[in-house]
Structure 1
Amino acid sequence: MQTTALRYFLAVAREGTIAAASARLNVAPSAISRQIANLEAELACLLFERRPRGMVLSQAGELLARHAHQVLQSADQVVTEIQELDGLRRGLVRIATTEAFAIDLVPSVIAAFHARHPGIRFDLSALPPGQVTQRVVQGDTDIGLTFSLEPSTDTAVAYRNSLDMVALCAPGHPLAGRSLIGLPDLAAYPVALLPRDTTLRTILDAACAAEGIAIEPVLSANVLSAILPFLRGTRGLTLMSSIALQGQVGRGEFRVLPIRSRRSLARGIEVQTMRDRRLPRAVQAFLTDLVAALPPITG
């Protein structure tokens, strides 16, 4: 069995359809279908039950999935050991992170690392928090940087801290000169927020309820990149992590306003890796740099 066929097989098992696996792998659906058919012919059994809403592993498919994970981990380990013979001159670092960190912080760490080790390649994905952890657990990414309401028990955690949310506005906003604002100040201006199924909204809504305040966003968007132009063109505000857009804040593109509230606005942040996995040398080196770029861990 070829490792390519096993990778395609596992992608279909995770995504539930060949089309979704194709989008995930950036591989033509016909190529994935062909590899699945070859596996089924080689094993003389069906690996999936084809259902109206997708593909589900058969009993044989579940056995193969367990085997495939072991085979691919062993193959990746061999590749890692071979690459390490060449030091930090070659290698790939796969990073999954929430969008807030993909805009500024992580690319800045990558740029600094690349300046010292130009032979190392990077793959960066911006995903919802839960999907970041899922990618790490499944071994589809090397490092995950994500928000979490509870400490992760499914990954190895290289860094965990609690960071306050702050308000973000354009430099010309009426509140831009304030050193501290309250939740009622937010309610007095148009607010743009991430959807309700995010850690940010969960914590903000609880804090508003504690003060008897209702904040109904003028704009709700599932990507921060859609919110930032709204701030530039209005008297709007948004909430985000205190370290998410340090570069743009430092260049004067936005103002950061700490928020006073009766209930904590802090969120957990974690840097995650796959449990019991020996990280490639390039990944470990980048992980060290990434953690060093984050705020010191507070008690």
Structure 2
Amino acid sequence: MNVSGLRYVLAVARTGSIAAASTHLNIAASAISRQISNLESELDCVLFERRPRGMVLSPAGELLAEHARQTLLRAEQVAADIQELQGLARGFIRVATSEGFALDLLPNAIAGFHAAHPGIRFEVQMLPPAQVTHVVAAGDADIGITFALAPSSLVAVAYDNAVEMVALSAPDHPLARRPAIRLADLKPYPIAVPTLDTTARRVFDAACLAEGITIEPTLTANILSALLPFVRRTKGLALMSALTVQTPVRLGELVCIPVHARMSLMRGIQVQVMRDRKLPHAVQAFLRQLVAALPPTESGGF
């Protein structure tokens, strides 16, 4: 049972097809298919069930996938231990993130870490918040950073805090010089918000409902970056975390306006790692730097 075959099984299980796994791994589909066939012959069982929505692990496949995850994690740990003999000269860090951190905070943290440790490589996946937790729990990412409305027992939490959403505007917006605004102050202006399946939208809608306010968004998007040009070029406002736009706010390109509401506009932030896993030295070092870039917690952080 070779390591490549185990890696291919996990890729097909995660993506739902050999073709998608081929694209993700940059390996020929025929090679992936052949390795899976070899494993099925070796183990005398069917590893995947072919269904209309894609390939799904069989009961035997589930057992093999769990073994594959543990085997690959152990192999990665051995490689990391060997690399640690060279300090932080080499290493590979996989980060899963929700979009709110992918636009500004995380890239800046990576750039700062790279400046000090140019031999460390990174891979970043941008995912919905719940999926961030799942890929960390499965060992497919070393670190996850995400907004979270509820705690999860699937992962270990290295940082846990909460931040309020703000109204984002252009510097010349009529509300930009206000020290704070209320929800009702948003009504006369075009509003840009994320889609209904996001934590930001759920918190915003609940706050409006609590005050009996109806705000019809002018722009709804499932990509936060689509909201920013709208804010820059109109008298519109967008609702999001200030952490999402730290650099443009610091440069004076955008303005964050605190919003006072009867119901809290706070959202939880978590930095997550896999439970009971010894993190490689490079991952530990970057984890400390990432947590340091976030608002301090009452306990002082990680």
Deviations 1:61-116 (A, max 9, x none): 12212221221122111111111111100001111111121111111111111111
Deviations 1:118-169 (A, max 9, x none): 1111111221111111110111111111000012211110000010110101
Matching residue of 1:3:
3
1:192 maps to a residue whose letter is: A
Q: Which SS does the other structure have where 1:7 is aligned?
A: helix
Deviations 1:31-74 (A, max 9, x none): 32222122223323221121222222223212212221221122
2:230 maps to a residue whose letter is: F
1:137 maps to a residue whose letter is: A
Shift of 1:20: 3.4
Matching residue of 2:79:
79
Q: How does 1:236-275 map to 2 (within 5 A)?
A: 236-275=236-275
State yes or no: 1:233 paired with 2:233. Answer: yes
The worse-fitting range, judged by mean Cα deviation, of 70-79 and 84-93 is 70-79
Q: Which runs of 5+ in 1 are unaligned?
A: none
Distance 2:55 2:67 in 1: 19
Q: Retained in 1: the 8 A contact 2:168–2:239?
A: yes
Q: Retained in 1: the 8 A contact 2:104–2:243?
A: no
- State the TM-score, normalizing by the size of structure 1: 0.96
The worse-fitting range, judged by mean Cα deviation, of 128-137 and 32-41 is 32-41
Q: Which SS does the other structure have where 1:179 is aligned?
A: coil
Distance 1:250 1:238 in 2: 17
The worse-fitting range, judged by mean Cα deviation, of 18-27 and 39-48 is 18-27
Matching residue of 1:106:
106
State yes or no: 1:221 paired with 2:221. Answer: yes
Shift of 1:298: 3.3
1:64 maps to a residue whose letter is: L
Shift of 1:4: 1.5
Matching residue of 1:51:
51
Distance 2:256 2:27 in 1: 42
Distance 2:130 2:8 in 1: 23
- State the TM-score, normalizing by the size of structure 2: 0.95
Q: Retained in 1: the 8 A contact 2:193–2:219?
A: yes
Distance 2:35 2:221 in 1: 38
Deviations 1:243-287 (A, max 9, x none): 221111000110000001000000000000000000000000000
1:148 maps to a residue whose letter is: A
Matching residue of 2:124:
124
Deviations 1:149-191 (A, max 9, x none): 0122111100000101101011121111111011111122111
Q: Which runs of 5+ in 2 are unaligned?
A: none
Shift of 1:23: 4.2
Matching residue of 1:290:
290
Q: Cα–Cα, structure 1 residues 63 and 243, in superposed 2: closer, same or farther, change >3 Å?
A: closer
The worse-fitting range, judged by mean Cα deviation, of 34-43 and 121-130 is 34-43
Q: Retained in 1: the 8 A contact 2:69–2:139?
A: no
Distance 1:26 1:206 in 2: 44
Distance 1:151 1:258 in 2: 26
